[in-house]
């Protein structure tokens, strides 16, 4: 059961902890111990210690603590072993995975849950003292905020006090770093206001010890001292610090122009340090000289060293530029102008220097590259750059001499990481299969993944430890904007370009091209130098520099903006004065089109393109059209235009002009704009009319599209219109003579005609004698046979048939036709042998509620009505005594030659028929049981299995009441009709006399 719970609710997922803790509350102590061990196995230390903390079982707490010590100690040992390889040949870039950060977080929270046991703290101290400082810093950067965020103030004090004592006992640089990271987070929280005096004193003791032991170049030690001072005073301000002399000493000892100084400088700036004696010009010159030396050293370096230098500059480009901006803000305009010019020129020199390596598309990211996925690993796909593409670019750069096998290995391949494949389910499925098999998969079958043939360079990796796959790729399918906002941008010294763009946009008070509100913007452009730094230049000097050194940026931002301002003035003038304005349709957009009006993009919604629905938006691209401005949003400078309003205005003018001249009988030319099942709408040049399907042709049509087409021009006649002339009825057939009026005078009653079947209905068929002239052959005029005819089985549309005209009405436009009249009626000849009163043998054809249909011979059929079936018994349905196909003796009662009908009789031969006549004599009395009471009488069961019906008036008892069901009474036979086999009975007559008229009116019923 425990296994199934663990499998269903993953303990490593924090959202399941509430459910699993509730589950543990229902377990016994022994079960809980097993449950805790299973949770540890699943990899969650935090949940196990949380359950232990809320449980009063000493055994459970002891087992949990021992298990945690063992796992955490082993984890720390593994981290220490790994950290020893950081500066080996294997790697120089200690990357901490998400899983390791997660485990370290769980360890810190588990120590809290176990109430900071000394053994657990010692294991943590072992990690801090023995791992490589760079590796430790990666852990602390990503995880220590958890301590400050989730620990209470007292817990923070207990936790940090342990390491304060450890530092006092052992002045380890790693413990200094640990305290530095912890206090750096703590200083920015409200919790500093609730720290105890005892803890503050211990901090002060550490501060004094650091000052005594520190080296002047170790600014982290100084920052830690300043943090302690800020926490003690609960005032985050360095403008008047007692450590002013120490700060100045540290600043003087820093390496000039080194980007490693940046964090210290930013810390001082954050807490309002004045920098009065800091020589920003000298520091900036040192930074520029540092960059210049790197450039000048390139010709002396090996290819591997050049790649390593480029890797360094790319990875630290933000830091270089941020440090440069820091200096810019502290110098006057003269130096600021000189240094910005030198910095931009240096950046361009670097680009030229590295041009042979950057063969693909100068130095920028997001250059489209052709390639083919050639190999798959658990982490992603290796991509081979297309050979033709590769060679063409090499020739363009004129670096053929640089091409070697090692060069191709480095620059002819790229890597497509799994994190860039969110939109490619087939590729992800393939990689998942690779992970399951735990070995690389060769892509021999390209159908296994979605085809990806073009890529963007989204990152570069020139580290010396990376032997191949310098280019980090992302699929071309994603838009550049999506990539910029989603992935880390590492264009070569991109910070400068982005800053200049942002600064230019700020000067012009226009929207930035970068999504500031998104988290990704912080990755693309670190916000601290955008929001906190300024070029110490006048706006005029900035534009002058941009025009001279970045003319393309000057054009697309400044000149285009000025043109746009003038364009917006024209657009606003047209909007306020209700003027039409011309524009070119540039492209499609979601829900409409983008229109270029004087260089300003406007939106044309799909509903405003035309008065009729538009399906093909692409057909409008490139067209110059007139528009009406319907909305201008000054907040986001959006303009919405309409072409439909112009068209509607023109149509309204045309409508008014046509309406003035409109008359009944007037013939107009129009264009078919819509076709429906009931007719067609005709555009008469600004006003619409409806041409009903019945007014399209004198002949029969199934759908208007049989004769009409969209956009077809036709002439129509005005049949009618309403007073407001908004509903106009049109006719097309009225332009041609009515074929009924021109009907040949020879077509008279009895005339033989030939026609085409144009409609088949259940009640008959329609024959088209001439176009527009139809006659109906009713189902009764198809055959002399009395058998029901199925028209849809006998006839098909398009058949040509000969018929006789039965009736014709020119004025009514109606004609009746007959098919059977073409042949003689065989029934008349056959019926001659049958006479009234004769007896015959007939075959039962059908049984119905009201009688029996029988066939005397072919086409001679008659009906034995149920009332003509002679029997003393009451008959509910003919099926009680006969069946279809059986032959019976019938007698002919009536022959109706006019209506071709035979009325027949049938007498049922009964074994007890003679006995009934002897027993049930008139005035004889018999016992009878009421077996069913009807609305107007009752069914009575008599002797010999006979049932008869007695009306209500013959059921009155001597006490004046009516009998109930199953009641047995005496009944008198009041009439016996031997001819029609009828017996009439009455209970009432047994105790009073019944007039003869009552016998006839109420008693005469059939016996069943």
CA distance 965 to 602: 91
Among the residue ranges 87-96, 204-213, 410-419, the one predicted with the least confidence is 87-96
- Say if residue 965's pLDDT is above 60: yes
Tell me, what's the pLDDT at 35? 82
Q: What CATH class does 826-907 carry?
A: mainly beta
CA distance 382 to 385: 10
Is the CB of residue 279 less than 8 Å from the CB of residue 256? no
What distances in angstroms separate CA 184 from CA 144, 176, 250, 554, one per listed residue? 10, 12, 19, 42
Tell me, what's the pLDDT at 561? 83
Tell me, what's the pLDDT at 726? 65
Is the CB of residue 50 less than 8 Å from the CB of residue 21? yes
Tell me which residue of 674, 720, 673, 714 sits closest to 697, measured CA to CA: 714
Note the helical H segments in 577-665. Answer: 644-661
HEC string for 873-916? CCCCCHHHCCCCCCEEEEEEEEEECCCCEEEEEEECCCCCHHHH
CB neighbour burial string for 771-806, b if at least 16 within 10 angstroms, e if fewer: ebbbbbbebebbebeeeebebeeebeeeeebebbbb
Residues 6+ apart with CB under 8 A from 518: 485
Q: What tens digit of pLDDT does each residue of 979-996 get?
A: 777 788 899 988 886 554
CA distance 350 to 417: 28
Q: What CATH class does 913-1003 carry?
A: mainly beta
Tell me, what's the pLDDT at 191? 86
Please tell me which residue, 608 or 612, carries the higher pLDDT value: 608
- Say if residue 1006's pLDDT is above 60: no
Q: What tens digit of pLDDT does each residue of 320-357 get?
A: 888 998 999 899 989 999 999 999 999 888 877 877 67
Q: Provide the β-strand partners of residue 593.
A: 588, 604
Q: What tens digit of pLDDT does each residue of 527-555 get?
A: 444 556 678 888 899 999 999 988 878 88
CA distance 828 to 775: 27
Pairing outcome for strands 728-731 and 688-692:
parallel
**For range 691-711, the mean pLDDT:** 84
**For range 386-404, the mean pLDDT:** 78
- Say if residue 693's pLDDT is above 50: yes
Among the residue ranges 6-15, 220-229, 749-758, the one predicted with the least confidence is 6-15
Q: What tens digit of pLDDT does each residue of 617-647 get?
A: 888 888 999 999 888 876 656 889 998 888 8
pLDDT category at 487 given cuts 50, 70, 90 is: very low
- Say if residue 388's pLDDT is above 90: no
As given in the structure block, the two tokens for residue 574 are 């047209």
**For range 37-49, the mean pLDDT:** 84
Tell me, what's the pLDDT at 154? 92
Tell me, what's the pLDDT at 480? 47
Tell me which residue of 316, 319, 301 sits closest to 357, measured CA to CA: 301
Q: What's the gap between Cα 82 and its chain centre?
A: 47
CA distance 123 to 77: 9
Pairing outcome for strands 368-376 and 380-385:
antiparallel
Sign for the pseudo-dihedral over CA of 351, 355, 359, 362: positive
**For range 658-679, the mean pLDDT:** 81
Pairing outcome for strands 901-907 and 860-870:
parallel
Q: Provide the β-strand partners of residue 902.
A: 895
pLDDT category at 77 given cuts 50, 70, 90 is: very high
Tell me, what's the pLDDT at 478? 52
pLDDT category at 520 given cuts 50, 70, 90 is: very low
Note the helical H segments in 476-634. Answer: 480-486, 494-508, 520-524, 527-531, 539-549, 551-553, 560-576
Residues 6+ apart with CB under 8 A from 91: 85, 465
Is the CB of residue 711 less than 8 Å from the CB of residue 674? no
* Ramachandran sector of residue 945 (left: φ over 0; alpha: ψ -120 to 50; beta: rest): left
Among the residue ranges 443-447, 600-604, 903-907, the one predicted with the least confidence is 443-447
Proportion of the chain above pLDDT 90, given as a percent: 8
- Say if residue 1004's pLDDT is above 60: no
Tell me, what's the pLDDT at 448? 53
Tell me, what's the pLDDT at 493? 63
Q: What tens digit of pLDDT does each residue of 856-904 get?
A: 887 788 888 887 877 767 777 888 788 888 888 888 888 877 777 788 8
pLDDT category at 491 given cuts 50, 70, 90 is: low
Please tell me which residue, 934 or 424, carries the higher pLDDT value: 934
As given in the structure block, the two tokens for residue 178 are 């640990």
What distances in angstroms separate CA 215 from CA 222, 261, 428, one per listed residue? 9, 15, 52
Tell me, what's the pLDDT at 999? 42
Q: What tens digit of pLDDT does each residue of 840-859 get?
A: 888 888 888 888 888 888 77
Tell me which residue of 165, 85, 72, 163 sits closest to 114, measured CA to CA: 72
pLDDT category at 288 given cuts 50, 70, 90 is: very high
pLDDT, averaged across the chain:
80
Proportion of the chain above pLDDT 70, given as a percent: 84
CA distance 200 to 206: 10
Fold (topology level) of 752-822? OB fold (Dihydrolipoamide Acetyltransferase, E2P) (2.40.50)
Q: Provide the β-strand partners of residue 930.
A: 940
Tell me which residue of 76, 70, 63 sits closest to 31, measured CA to CA: 63
Among the residue ranges 17-26, 467-476, 952-961, 993-1002, the one predicted with the least confidence is 993-1002
The phi, psi pair for 823, rounded to 5°, reads -130, 160
- Say if residue 120's pLDDT is above 70: yes
Q: What CATH class does 662-735 carry?
A: mainly beta
Eight-state DSSP code of residue 303: H
Please tell me which residue, 345 or 741, carries the higher pLDDT value: 345
Among the residue ranges 156-160, 306-310, 515-519, 621-625, the one predicted with the least confidence is 515-519
CA distance 37 to 59: 13
**For range 724-735, the mean pLDDT:** 77
**For range 831-835, the mean pLDDT:** 80
CA distance 886 to 842: 8
**Run of H or E residues at 587:** strand 580-589
pLDDT category at 747 given cuts 50, 70, 90 is: confident
At 27 the three-state DSSP class reads: coil
Q: What CATH class does 577-647 carry?
A: mainly beta
- DSSP letter for each residue of 41-92: HHT-HHHHHHHHHT---HHHHHHHHHHHHHHHHHHHHHHHHHHTTTTSSS-S
**For range 117-132, the mean pLDDT:** 90
Among the residue ranges 62-76, 192-206, 242-256, 713-727, the one predicted with the least confidence is 713-727
- Say if residue 397's pLDDT is above 50: yes
Q: What tens digit of pLDDT does each residue of 578-609 get?
A: 888 899 998 888 888 999 888 788 899 988 88
How crowded is residue 57: how many other Cβ atoms within 10 Å of its Cβ?
15
**For range 401-417, the mean pLDDT:** 76
Is the CB of residue 785 less than 8 Å from the CB of residue 715? no
For the beta sheet containing 982-986, the strands, ordered from the edge strand earlier in sequence to the opposite edge, are: 947-951, 937-941, 925-933, 968-977, 982-986
Tell me, what's the pLDDT at 486? 44
Q: What long-range pairs does 33-39 form, CB within 8 A, spacing at least 24? A: 33/59, 33/60, 33/63, 34/2, 35/2, 36/60, 36/63, 36/64, 36/67, 37/63, 37/67, 38/2, 38/3, 38/6, 39/6, 39/11
As given in the structure block, the two tokens for residue 11 are 């303990």
CA distance 328 to 287: 12
Q: What long-range pairs does 989-998 form, CB within 8 A, spacing at least 24? A: 989/954, 990/925, 991/957, 991/958, 994/954, 998/953, 998/954
Please tell me which residue, 376 or 931, carries the higher pLDDT value: 931
Read off the pTM.
0.53
């Amino acid at each position: 059961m425990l296994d199934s719970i663990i499998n269903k609710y993953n303990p490593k997922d924090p959202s399941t902890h509430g459910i699993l803790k509730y589950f543990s509350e229902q377990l016994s102590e022994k079960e809980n111990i097993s449950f805790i061990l299973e949770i540890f196995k699943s990899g969650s230390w935090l949940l196990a210690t949380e359950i232990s903390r809320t449980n009063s079982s000493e055994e459970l707490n002891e087992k949990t603590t021992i298990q945690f010590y063992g796992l955490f100690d082993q984890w720390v040992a593994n981290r220490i072993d790994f950290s020893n390889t950081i500066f080996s040949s294997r790697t120089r870039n200690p990357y901490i995975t998400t899983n390791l950060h997660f485990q370290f977080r769980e360890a810190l929270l588990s120590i809290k849950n176990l109430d900071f046991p000394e053994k657990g703290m010692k294991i943590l101290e072992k990690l801090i003292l023995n791992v490589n400082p760079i590796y430790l810093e990666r852990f602390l950067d990503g995880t220590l905020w958890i301590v400050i965020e989730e620990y209470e103030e007292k817990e923070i004090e207990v936790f940090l006090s342990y390491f304060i004592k450890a530092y006092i006992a052992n002045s380890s640089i790693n413990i200094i770093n640990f305290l530095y990271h912890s206090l750096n987070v703590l200083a920015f929280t409200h919790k500093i206001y609730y720290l105890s005096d005892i803890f503050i004193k211990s901090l002060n003791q550490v501060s004094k010890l650091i000052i005594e032991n520190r080296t002047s170049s170790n600014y982290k030690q100084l920052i830690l001292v300043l943090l302690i001072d800020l926490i003690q005073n609960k005032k985050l301000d360095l403008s008047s610090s007692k450590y002013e002399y120490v700060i100045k000493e540290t600043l003087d000892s820093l390496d000039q122009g080194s980007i490693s100084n940046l964090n210290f400088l930013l810390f001082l700036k954050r807490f309002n340090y004045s920098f009065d004696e800091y020589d920003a010009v000298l520091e900036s010159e040192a930074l520029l000289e540092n960059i210049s030396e790197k450039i000048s050293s390139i010709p002396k370096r090996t290819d591997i060293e050049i790649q390593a230098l480029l890797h360094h500059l790319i990875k630290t480009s933000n830091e270089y530029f941020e440090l440069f901006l820091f200096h810019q803000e502290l110098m006057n305009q003269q130096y600021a102008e000189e240094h910005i010019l030198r910095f931009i020129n240096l950046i361009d020199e670097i680009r030229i220097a590295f041009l042979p390596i950057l063969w693909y598309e100068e130095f920028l990211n997001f250059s489209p590259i052709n390639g083919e996925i050639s190999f798959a690993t658990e982490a992603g796909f290796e991509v081979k750059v297309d050979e033709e593409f590769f060679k063409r670019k090499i020739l363009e750069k004129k670096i053929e001499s640089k091409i070697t096998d090692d060069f191709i290995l480095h620059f002819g391949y790229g890597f497509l990481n799994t994190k860039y494949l969110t939109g490619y389910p087939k590729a992800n499925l393939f990689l998942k299969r690779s992970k399951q098999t735990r070995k690389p998969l060769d892509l021999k079958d390209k159908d296994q993944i979605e085809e990806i043939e073009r890529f963007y360079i989204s990152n570069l990796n020139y580290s010396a430890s990376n032997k191949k796959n310098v280019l980090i790729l992302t699929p071309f399918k994603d838009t550049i904007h999506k990539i910029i906002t989603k992935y880390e941008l590492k264009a070569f010294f991109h910070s400068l370009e982005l800053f200049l763009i942002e600064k230019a946009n700020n000067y012009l008070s226009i929207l930035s091209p970068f999504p500031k509100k998104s988290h990704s913007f912080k990755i693309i452009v670190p916000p601290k130098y955008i929001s906190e730094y300024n070029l110490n230049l006048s706006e005029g000097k900035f534009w002058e520099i941009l025009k001279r050194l970045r003319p393309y940026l000057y054009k697309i931002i400044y000149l285009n903006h000025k043109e746009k301002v003038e364009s917006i003035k024209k657009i606003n003038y047209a909007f306020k004065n209700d003027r039409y304005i011309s524009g070119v349709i540039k492209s499609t957009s979601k829900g409409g089109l983008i229109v270029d009006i004087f260089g300003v993009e406007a939106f044309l919604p799909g509903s405003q393109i035309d008065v009729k629905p538009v399906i093909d938006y692409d057909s409008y691209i490139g067209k110059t059209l007139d528009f009406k401005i319907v909305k201008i949003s000054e907040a986001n400078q959006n303009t919405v235009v309409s072409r439909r309003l112009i068209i509607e205005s023109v149509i309204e003018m045309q409508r008014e002009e046509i309406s003035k001249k409109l008359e009944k009988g007037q013939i107009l030319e129009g264009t078919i704009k819509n076709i429906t099942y009931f007719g067609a709408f005709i555009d008469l040049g600004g006003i619409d009319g409806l041409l009903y399907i019945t007014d399209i042709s004198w002949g029969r049509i199934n759908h208007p599209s049989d004769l009409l087409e969209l956009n077809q021009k036709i002439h129509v006649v005005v049949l009618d219109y309403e007073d407001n002339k908004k509903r106009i009825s049109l006719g097309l057939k009225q332009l041609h003579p009515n074929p009924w009026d021109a009907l040949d005078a020879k077509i008279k009653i009895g005339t033989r005609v030939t026609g085409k079947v144009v409609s088949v209905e259940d009640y008959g068929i329609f024959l088209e004698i001439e176009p527009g002239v139809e006659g109906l052959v009713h189902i009764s005029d198809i055959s002399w046979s009395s058998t029901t005819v199925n028209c849809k089985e006998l006839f098909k549309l398009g058949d040509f048939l000969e018929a006789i005209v039965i009736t014709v009405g020119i004025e009514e436009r109606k004609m009746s036709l007959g098919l059977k009249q073409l042949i003689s009626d065989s029934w008349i000849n056959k019926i001659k042998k049958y006479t009234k009163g004769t007896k015959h043998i007939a075959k039962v054809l059908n049984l119905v509620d009201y009688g029996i249909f029988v066939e005397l011979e072919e086409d001679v059929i008659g009906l034995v009505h149920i009332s003509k079936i002679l029997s003393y018994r009451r008959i509910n349905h003919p099926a009680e005594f006969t069946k279809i196909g059986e032959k019976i003796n019938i007698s002919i009662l009536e022959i109706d030659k006019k209506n071709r009908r035979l009325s027949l009789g049938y007498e049922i031969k009964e074994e007890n028929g003679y006995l009934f006549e002897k027993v049930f004599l008139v005035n004889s009395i018999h016992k009878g049981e009421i077996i069913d009471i009807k609305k107007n009488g009752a069914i009575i069961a008599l002797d010999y299995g006979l049932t008869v019906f007695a009306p209500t008036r013959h059921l009155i008892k001597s006490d004046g009441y009516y009998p109930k069901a199953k009641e047995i009474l005496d009944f008198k036979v009041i009439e016996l009709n031997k001819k029609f086999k009828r017996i009439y009975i009455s209970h009432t007559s047994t105790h009073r006399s019944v007039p003869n008229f009552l016998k006839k009116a109420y008693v005469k019923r059939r016996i069943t």
